[in-house]
Amino acid sequence: MATSTEMVEQVQEVLDKLRPFLLRDGGDVELVEVEDGIVKVRLLGACGSCPSSTITLKAGIERALLEEVPGVKEIEQVF
């Protein structure tokens, strides 16, 4: 199993791959922390107030993290 530092780096890599799509729509994502397989992120800019942000978070970001980073269990949005 990956160390927490390795997991944070892997999560950041996935977020960096997704970032251009968020920036194109006027938003961004910030990694807050990774703890016990739970990734906490903050949606910024247009993503923070977008009615579709929950779908972006769960269907887009969470799906990518679950597929690409072993040990990720879920994603939570923090404000």
pLDDT at residue 33 is higher than 90: yes
The pLDDT of residue 13:
97
Find the domain containing 45 and state its range: 4-77
* Residue 63, C-beta contacts closer than 8 angstroms, at least 6 positions apart: none
Task: State the pTM of this model.
Answer: 0.89
What's the domain count of the chain?
1
Strands 74-77 and 27-35: unpaired
**Residues 60-69: pLDDT tens digits?**
999 999 999 9
Q: What is the CATH number of the domain that holds 61?
A: 3.30.300.130
**Mean of per-residue pLDDT scores for the chain:** 91
Is the torsion defined by CA of 59, 79, 20, 15 positive or negative? negative
* Residue 48, C-beta contacts closer than 8 angstroms, at least 6 positions apart: 27, 42, 79
Torsion of CA 69, 64, 55, 48, to 10 degrees: 70
**Residues 36-72: pLDDT tens digits?**
999 999 999 988 887 888 888 888 999 999 999 999 9
